[in-house]
Amino acid sequence: MVQLFSAFDRETIERKAQDETFDLVIVGGGITGAGIALDAVSRGMSVALVEMGDFASGTSSRSTKLVHGGLRYLQQFEVKEVAELGKERAIVYENGPHVTTPEWMMLPFHKGGNMGKTTASMGIRLYDYLAGVKKDERRQILSVKETLAKNPFVKKEGLKGSGYYVEYRTDDARLTIEVMKKAVELGALAINYTRAEELIYDDKKQVRGVTVTDRLSGRVYDIRGYRVINAAGPWVDRVRKLDYSHNNKHLRLTKGVHLVIDKSKFPMEQAVYFDTPDGRMVFAIPRDKKVYVGTTDTFYDEFPIHPKALESDHTYVIKAINYMFPDVQVTEKDIESSWAGVRPLIYEEGKDPSEISRKDEVWFSESGLITMAGGKLTGYRKMAEKLLDEVVKPLSSETGKNYSSVQTKHLPISGGDIGGSKNLDTFIDKKAREGNNRFGWSLPVAKELAKRFGTNIDKLFTYAQAHKEKENPTLPNSLYAELHYSVYHESVVHPVDFLLRRTSYLLFDMPYLLEWKDAVLDEMQNLFSWDEATKAKLKKELEDEIRDAREPADWHDR
């Protein structure tokens, strides 16, 4: 089967999208939409998916970047949610070990804190049981001495010890793109920068497709399907407003902000989950040469397309860092980059942002429009399974097709087919040596790319070889390979797609990005034949993203 996921496949995808009636048309290209597409196509359904921005450009690239079991939800007595998320976490890890990493997390206990030593110990023990945590990853309770040995930066005043348990760190945008690529590999059509404008109805006023606009070319066309699924994340309610019928349920958006600090200023190697004086919980997580810290939880009532971190958000997180790690003394000038994200939570009367459940729900409208609302990164696969289990029978009777039961529990995502997590280290070492020997990549760079792209690294080697044979190349060999792979295999059409969502350089290696961003723009101009006006527009888009990452948005007009 020909895989259509190159930036240069857009017109072919659009023609195919208009040529048939699909079993499912999905609106939304974040992790929820990608998960539904993969589950559906692996059951034998025909699928078309549209995303109004880039894939994962909303919530699915702006989270805390954890596939975690939901320990915090025990405080809200959401026992079923914890049990399900904990088990899903292990499945997500095994299906894509290259984009998910076990991370031991420390939960410090302080005198007067939200969670006492006894309560936390019981809570983590219950969490281990509910989540089915593997024996070698079950919780430990550390003494004060053991706590400080693992993280000497933790506040010593009032320290009573810590809980020690495993979470899973991920690259949320890459997890999304790898799930989407697998769906496309199995036959789904997926296209970014394509906005759903109107719903199409049959003579019984049932939804039978969407009218969409290609935001790059301006082309307008129809995609028809037996079922339309609204998986638009923060834009779920806006899609529902296109429908003549919708229930009274709606979303409540909250904003979270994360700050990135270089380890030269904050040389912490141990992840910490800690409470602040006002009762909120914050993560501080090492990632390569950086540490990122967040999140704040505040209600957000503005347009969700590009949430921004404000000075008040920075101030809150910096105060939280200096409260829990008083010897570090972070200031605004130490912030290398940041990101803000909006979470779509199901509205619950009278609850503050940190108390609202992260549960998911499926809403069926009178018109037949299906909406997947709420949910978490960790639960994306299970959410899709539950939704499609409800859809299979009526859809089958309507289409006359037989669909299989869920297939995704043991289905590796793109790049993840290495025989499970037990083989990951061997795989990375082997491919890193190959990148080093063949192309002169440094071992740290080669390991990072083998981890980022998994088994797709061999395709990067093809581009690296082509670069090696070029005269006077303008990009480093590894960056050239990443860029060309992302354009030809991951639908990258804008510099921000590549530098933010496919590689995360904009968040976690700002110096590298600043050094090479102009050369990346030049290379993409050559690939796409942009005129100077188009290049200038896309350069400004990138510069705006860099500015938003480097300073609070309300500083811009000073």
C-alpha span between 379 and 96 (Å, rounded): 14
Q: By C-alpha distance, which of 537, 438, 427 is closest to 493? A: 537
Least confident of 192-206, 334-348, 519-533: 334-348
Tell me 15's DSSP state: H
The arithmetic mean of pLDDT across residues 48-56, rounded, is 98
Express each pLDDT in 304-349 by its tens digit.
778 889 999 999 999 999 999 999 999 999 999 999 998 888 775 6
**Per-residue pLDDT at 352 exceeds 70:** no
Q: What is the pLDDT of residue 76?
A: 59
Q: Count other C-beta atoms under 10 Å from residue 288's C-beta.
A: 11
Q: What is the pLDDT of residue 521?
A: 98
C-alpha span between 523 and 503 (Å, rounded): 16
Tell me 60's DSSP state: G
Q: What is the pLDDT of residue 167?
A: 85
The 3-state DSSP class for residue 380 equals helix
Residue 232 has phi, psi (to 5 degrees) of: -90, 10
Express each pLDDT in 359-415 by its tens digit.
778 999 999 999 998 888 889 999 999 999 999 999 999 999 999 999 999 999 999
C-alpha span between 295 and 272 (Å, rounded): 13
Secondary structure string (H, E, C) spanning 220-288: EEEEEEEEEEECCHHHHHHHHCCCCCCCCCCEEEEEEEEEEEECCCCCCCCEEEEECCCCCEEEEEEEC
The arithmetic mean of pLDDT across residues 51-78, rounded, is 81
In angstroms, the Cα distances linking 196 to 29, 384, 396 are 12, 21, 26
Q: What is the pLDDT of residue 349?
A: 61
Q: What is the pLDDT of residue 492?
A: 98
Q: Which amino acid is at 210?
A: V
Cβ atoms of 416 and 125 closer than 8 Å? no
Orientation angle between helical segments 477-489 and 510-528, nearest 10 degrees: 50
Q: Architecture of 9-59+173-250+359-399 per CATH?
A: 3-Layer(bba) Sandwich (3.50)
pLDDT greater at residue 317 or residue 275: 317
Q: Tell me the domain boundaries of the chain.
A: 9-59+173-250+359-399, 257-346, 421-555
Q: What is the pTM of this model?
A: 0.95
Q: What is the pLDDT of residue 75?
A: 59
C-alpha span between 26 and 49 (Å, rounded): 5
Q: What is the pLDDT of residue 357?
A: 58
Q: Could you give the percent of the chain with pLDDT greater than 90?
A: 74
**Per-residue pLDDT at 418 exceeds 90:** yes
Same fold, 9-59+173-250+359-399 and 257-346: no
C-alpha span between 304 and 239 (Å, rounded): 13
pLDDT greater at residue 463 or residue 163: 463
Superfamily of domain 257-346: D-Amino Acid Oxidase, subunit A, domain 2 (3.30.9.10)
Express each pLDDT in 237-274 by its tens digit.
999 999 987 667 788 888 999 999 999 999 999 999 99
Q: What is the pLDDT of residue 339?
A: 96
Banded pLDDT at 2 (limits 50, 70, 90): low
The arithmetic mean of pLDDT across residues 497-520, rounded, is 97
Task: Output 124-127 pairs: Cβ under 8 A, ≥24 positions apart.
Answer: 124/71, 124/163, 124/165, 126/74, 127/69, 127/71, 127/74, 127/82, 127/86, 127/165
Q: What is the pLDDT of residue 245?
A: 76
Q: What is the pLDDT of residue 73?
A: 61
Q: What is the pLDDT of residue 116?
A: 66
The arithmetic mean of pLDDT across residues 220-230, rounded, is 98
Least confident of 36-50, 84-98, 197-211, 451-465: 84-98
Q: What is the pLDDT of residue 77?
A: 53
CATH code given to domain 421-555: 1.10.8.870
Express each pLDDT in 100-135 by its tens digit.
998 899 999 998 776 667 777 777 777 777 767 777
Which tokens in the block code for residue 207?
A: 């939804």
Residue 144 has phi, psi (to 5 degrees) of: -60, -45
Q: Which are the contacts of 558, defined by CB distance < 8 A and separation ≥ 6?
A: none
The residue with tokens 């896309």 is 538
Q: By C-alpha distance, which of 226, 231, 220 is closest to 198? A: 220
Banded pLDDT at 178 (limits 50, 70, 90): very high
> CA-based Rg of the chain, rounded to a whole angstrom?
23
Express each pLDDT in 69-109 by its tens digit.
666 665 555 666 777 777 888 899 999 999 999 889 999 99
Least confident of 29-43, 70-84, 143-157, 492-506: 70-84
Give one DSSP letter per residue of 420-452, joined into a string. SGGGHHHHHHHHHHHHHHHH---HHHHHHHHHH
Q: By C-alpha distance, which of 272, 287, 376 is closest to 337? A: 287
Q: What is the pLDDT of residue 79?
A: 63
